Structure 1
Amino acid sequence: MDFSFNQLSAPLAKAIAAQNFTKPTEIQAASVPLLLNSNCDFVGQAQTGTGKTAAFCIPLIEKINPNQKGIQALIVSPTRELAGQIADEMKRLTQFMDIKTTTVYGGVGYKDQIAKLRTAQVVIATPGRAIDLINKKALKLSGVNYLVLDEADEMLKMGFIEDIEFILEIISDKAQKWMFSATMPKQILNLMEKKLDNPKVVRLKKQTLSNDNIEQRYCTLPRRDFFTALKVVLQSEQDIHAIVFCETKDETKRLAERLLTWNKKVACLHGDLSQSQRESALDLFKNRKVQILVCTDVAARGIDISLVTHVINMGLPRKAESYVHRIGRTGRAGHMGKAISFVSPQDARGMKTIEKMINMRLERLELPTAESSKKGNMLREISKMDGLKEAILTKGDDFDVDEIFTDFEDYFEGLSRNQVLKLVFSHLFNIEFRSIDETSRNLKKALAAGKTSPIMKSSRKRRSKFIKEKRNGNRKSKVLQ
């Protein structure tokens, strides 16, 4: 029988209905019934944005005994942001139930967290803080019946594998262990084999690792021209709310500074920020006070923001698995999204690895022309006047303006309507349009340079050198004979 939310307990079904969720996602439909009806270890493979947080929260809530004191479940996630996201999901799902959940993570003091642990039934923790609290004997796992490891591949990538192995060692053998991961690298498979007891495994079909709601494209050009290409994309889009990924925190800082210099509204997220600074940057982006969030992979884990229109990669990530996590920030909850990757010629092999992993061939991006960039820029600017335009059309002569308007009106005396429009248009856009033309010319040169890969050039040089040396060697050997 197919699983549906109305098969759950009344308070949980009511909480789900309050969020207007009517049909389980693929990972939820496959995982929830299995976890509800069996006492087994479990592994679920699903990408970010598929509803996997609810896939483990729902059965966990059903299994928690609200009347039993003490910690019954521990959920481990790689970052503070992701831990906060899970906590928010638990809060929404338990709004009609009396289940006590608390979150513990680094970067803040211990006192309040330790106090809340005394009454908690479900604990959500980052690996480092969990180990600290275990060592302080504040986080006691003796009564834990359920251990959830979320984003296991990310915890591996961030160097938490030993922390996870430690937690698995001290947790009760009777505790059920559930692990979720977007990808299954070798070390995760080894962990499953060594630490989990004959786990049930649910893997979404390979093609679903790439979200159909995301239009994925790439553009090959020299790394030095990535910023120029980014400018062209940003100039051509009318309504953009984008996350831009860089590989290092230094690259993140430099890019954010360049975008600010270019008068773009931007926030930056990287490992050097304090918790309050990180939250402030995220709030600015969530509330659309800024249109661009520049960040690293690690800093972006756990970001759950609706209507992210674009994910832009300033180069390919070092690990192909990170590509899946990055693009999962867009195309969520049925909305369409775009993923654009700027790729240097040297990264051609990395593209093939990603395409093989997601079982999909990425399309080449045709960068916007100067004309389309200008049009996008113009429409974006004039749309800011939409409210005023509507008010003037509605009120007509009754629309009130400052008395100095008559002096402004006098300035245009003697000009026809068309001439006035040309004057205002040129004043508003000429400088920006000249910049767009220059950017477009530079980009054409960059794209031409990117067509011939330096890898191919260098290999041809090596081959030519080898043949030349071989010929010279043959000549020398003949002389010596």
Structure 2
Amino acid sequence: MNEKIEQAIREMGFKNFTEVQSKTIPLMLQGKNVVVRAKTGSGKTAAYAIPILELGMKSLVITPTRELTRQVASHIRDIGRYMDTKVAEVYGGMPYKTQINRVKNADIVVATPGRLLDLWSKGVIDLSSFEIVIIDEADLMFEMGFIDDIKIILAQTSNRKITGLFSATIPEEIRKVVKDFITSYEEIEACIGLANVEHKFVHVKDDWRSKVQALRENKDKGVIVFVRTRNRVAKLVRLFDNAIELRGDLPQSIRNRNIDAFREGEYDMLITTDVASRGLDIPLVEKVINFDAPQDLRTYIHRIGRTGRMGRKGEAITFILNEYWLEKEIKKISQKA
């Protein structure tokens, strides 16, 4: 490995590679395509960032949300801090002129699909120039309606030498994209299931008051609280002085500020919806509380991916009103983890 990368990751606190890193990095360095099933917090960003920086090829990383775009770009810059590598992020909500100037000489572009295709359609970005293409959080891309955009991007980057697709789950729709656009690949499974997380369930009597009381009894520092709707987020955050909110209808500048404030420990709890928190990657989250239970197991896996990161222990508490099926499924899977 490049000495400059080794120095950077040592300073970042890397001691040993995680499972996804040890499985993915050698294959990508050999020039192989990879399809990786790994949860948020498994170290997957470094799993593709290190080979990208080591190989020195022009690279494109596609992410589903603005927040994740910022986080991934920042992480790549950290790993490449001693290298002369230019990283540019591209997402909606930023002035066109700023992004155009950034991508002109960038070695690595981290982008959301919509703004990337917007700049491509204007002739600002030549998609055929990218040699490595990474699709991060692929299942979230599908859920957010970006799958057709991903197909266009993969079609326009047909000259690429290495493709990596990373996803917490790989549903049939993603399998079809892989089959259509990635000719041969190595499939990797790492950090799957619910390992490193202790799962607890609190049975509540009603959909609001007893849940609020349960939250008061289980609140802590470094907690992400998942709520069903943005209106419930706004209502709940007013009841706790040490909480901050994340909603899809907040201006991007406030979203960024709130995430940074929670990350820096200025607030104990971040109260959010699934939509607003997609792709959110915040280290040192000790606990996830499902104030409103998720509607399916896949959403549960995405939510708890915010805790138990990088091999550390985490805790997930779900308030159960009548979602007994979910409790049963989680207990069954966690026993196998």
What TM-score do you get using the length of structure 1 for normalisation?
0.66
Q: Specify the alignment match of 1:255 in structure 2.
A: 236
Aligned to 1:138: 124
Decide whether the 8 Å contact of 1:114 with 1:138 is kept in 2.
yes
- Find the residue that maps to 1:209 and give its secondary structure: coil
Aligned counterpart, 1:221: 204
Q: Which amino acid aligns with 2:226?
A: F
Structure 1 stretches of at least 4 aligned residues deviating more than 6 Å after TM superposition = none
Do structure 1's residue 164 and structure 2's residue 164 form an aligned pair?
A: no
Q: Distance in 1 between matches of 2:217 and 2:300?
A: 25
Distance 2:74 2:218 in 1: 36
The match for 1:209 is: 193
- Residue in 2 that maps onto 1:45: 37
Question: Is the Cα contact below 8 Å between 1:36 and 1:59 reproduced in 2?
Answer: yes
Distance 1:41 1:279, change over 3 A: same
State whether residues 25 and 50 of structure 1, in contact with CA within 8 Å, keep that contact through their aligned partners in structure 2.
yes
Contact 2:201/2:319, CA 8 A, preserved across alignment = yes
- The answer to whether the aligner puts 1:246 opposite 2:246 as a matched pair is no
Cα distance, 1:223 vs. partner? 4.2
2:1 is equivalent to residue 15 of structure 1: no
**Compared CA separation, residues 129 and 61, structure 1 to 2 (3 A):** same
Match of 1:154 among 133, 140, 161: 140
- Partner residue in 2 for 1:318: 295
- Say which of 167, 179, 187 aligns to 1:193: 179
Cα shift readout 1:144-181 (whole Å, capped 9, x = no counterpart)? 11110000011111111111111111112443211000
2:131 and 2:159 in contact (8 A); partners too: no
CA distance in 2, matches of 1:198, 1:165: 17
Question: Following superposition of structure 1 onto structure 2, how do residues 356-395 of structure 1 map, counting pairs within 5 Å?
Answer: 359-361=333-335
**Are residues 173 and 319 of structure 1, via their aligned partners in 2, closer, same or farther at CA, if it must alter by over 3 Å?**
farther
C-alpha distance in 2 between matches for 1:232 and 1:324? 22
Per the TM alignment, residue 233 of structure 1 is displaced from its structure 2 partner at its CA by 4.4
Partners of 1:44 and 1:116 in 2: CA distance: 29
Q: Is the 8 A contact 1:331 1:338 kept in 2?
A: yes
More strand by proportion, 1 or 2? 2
Offset of residue 354 of structure 1: 4.5
Cα separation, 2, equivalents of 1:186 and 1:290: 39
Aligned residue for 2:207, secondary structure, equals: helix
Distance 2:50 2:284 in 1: 25
Superposed CA deviations along residues 318-347 of structure 1, whole A, max 9, x for unmatched, are: 3321211211212234443221011221x2
Which residue in 2 is equivalent to 1:116?
102
Higher CA-based Rg: 1
| Deviation (angstroms), 1:317 | 1.8
Partner of 2:252: 275
Q: Relative to structure 1, is the Cα distance of residues 30 and 333 closer, same or farther in structure 2, using a 3 angstrom cutoff?
A: closer
* Distance in 1 separating the partners of 2:42 and 2:136: 13
- How far apart, CA to CA, are the structure 2 residues paired with 1:355 and 1:138? 50
Go from structure 1 to structure 2 and tell me whether the alpha carbon gap of 1:255 and 1:25 turns closer, same or farther (over 3 Å shift): same
For 1:57 and 1:154, locate their aligned partners in 2 and report how far apart those are by CA, in whole Å. 20
State the secondary structure of the residue aligned to 2:49: helix
Task: Give 1:234's aligned amino acid.
Answer: R
Three-state SS of the structure 1 residue aligned to 2:164 is: strand
In the other structure, the counterpart of 1:231 is 213
Which whole-Å CA distance do the structure 1 matches of 2:217 and 2:294 have between them? Answer: 25
For the structure 1 residues 96 and 271, does the alpha-carbon distance in structure 2 shift closer, same or farther, using more than 3 Å as the test? same
Q: TM-score, normalised by structure 2?
A: 0.93
Name the structure, 1 or 2, with higher relative contact order (CA <8 Å, separation 6+). Answer: 2
Q: CA deviation at 1:242?
A: 1.3
Letter in 1 for 2:64: P
Q: Is the Cα–Cα contact under 8 Å of residues 207 and 321 in structure 2 kept in the other structure?
A: no
Unaligned runs of 5+ in 2: none
Q: Amino acid of the residue matched to residue 234 of structure 2? A: K
- Please tell me whether the aligned partners of residues 40 and 281 of structure 2 are also in contact (alpha carbons under 8 angstroms): no
Which secondary structure does the structure 2 equivalent of 1:131 belong to?
Answer: helix
Q: CA deviation at 1:84?
A: 1.1
User: Which position in structure 1 is the counterpart of 2:261?
Assistant: 284
- Structure 2: distance between partners of 1:49 and 1:211: 12
- Cα distance in 1 for residues equivalent to 2:244 and 2:5: 37
Q: CA separation in 1, counterparts of 2:303 and 2:260?
A: 19
Q: Which has the higher helix share?
A: 1
